[in-house]
Amino acid sequence: MPQHLFANLENKRAVVTGSSSGIGRAIAVELARGGADVVVHCNHSIDAANETVEQVRQLGRRATVVQADFSELTAGDAAAFVDRSLEPFDGCDIWINNAGADLLTGPAAELGYADKLRVLLDVDVQSTVLLGSEIGRRLKEEGSGVITNVGWDQADRGMEGDSGELFAVSKNAIMGFSRSLALSLSPEVRVNCIAPGWILTAWGEGASDYWQDRVRKETPLDRWGTPQDIANMARFLVSDAASFITGQIINVNGGAVR
């Protein structure tokens, strides 16, 4: 079946947080390829966000940037961000919570263990929970909508080291929240969570030979995943082709089991 028929998003309105680059950008562009207009969110990376907007517009869809800092987000901040995000296209049908702190390649990589934990709980967990709850309530009142969150495939089975421990805390929280939010919002709104495996983003591109070898050994399909792999799943999950799927954690990880 042609992809455009299988996951058609024609005239849908989407908001993708953390979509100035990487997985978020790939999702925003893929939703546009499916026919959706897209609100692109960034914190500081305005130029990069505008590049995402241009890619969306090249596909013939509308796009705009909404800037917001999700650190120390309050319920009032979340409501205000949702208001600003719904304004450009007079509402939304699809909400993707992708924004997260970069603890591997950004300035936060230099923080200590406890400070990294605070950043993850603040940015990843707090924003996903408060924004998901706020937009979910509104979509339920309107009678339809789809929310997709982003977890991590190793969160519920474990990975050694500081990063493994810390990301397990934040991503398990998001995955558990997704399951419960799906129950709270059903049947009007579907909620799912994508759990990426080893995805070739900025950190992976500069990873050592040890990590390059480890990724391939742990991944039965013998390669890194790409942001496009995640974007393809996101497009499917928010489309009517997935209309009987909610409350699920979907691993996109090349078959990895450890």
Please list, in sequence order, all residues whose beta carbon lies within 8 angstroms of the beta carbon of residue 14, skipping any fewer than 6 positions away.
28, 31, 36, 37, 38, 39, 92, 93, 94, 95, 96, 238
pLDDT on residue 258: 64
Partner residues linked to 65 by β-bridges: 40
Buried b (16+ CB within 10 A) or exposed e, 180-214: ebbeebeeebbbbbbbbbbbbbebbeebeeeeeee
pLDDT on residue 17: 98
Tell me, rounded to whole angstroms, the distance of Cα 153 from its chain centroid: 13
Q: How far apart are CA 199 and CA 185, in angstroms?
A: 30
Q: Please, are residues 250 and 195 in contact by the beta-carbon 8 Å criterion?
A: yes
Query: How does DSSP classify residue 101?
Result: -
Q: What is the pLDDT of residues 82-132, one digit of tens each?
A: 999 999 999 999 999 999 988 888 787 888 999 999 999 999 999 999 999
Q: Please, are residues 31 and 17 in contact by the beta-carbon 8 Å criterion?
A: no
In the chain the domains, ranked by start, together with CATH numbers, are 3-250 (3.40.50.720)
Q: How far apart are CA 215 and CA 158, in angstroms?
A: 15
Q: What is the pLDDT of residues 177-229, one digit of tens each?
A: 999 999 999 999 999 999 999 998 877 787 888 988 898 989 999 999 999 99
Six token digits for residue 258: 């450890």
**Closest among 205, 208, 181 to 193, alpha carbons compared:** 181
Between 3-7, 29-33, 190-194, 243-247, the lowest mean confidence (pLDDT) is in 3-7
pLDDT on residue 97: 98
pLDDT on residue 5: 52
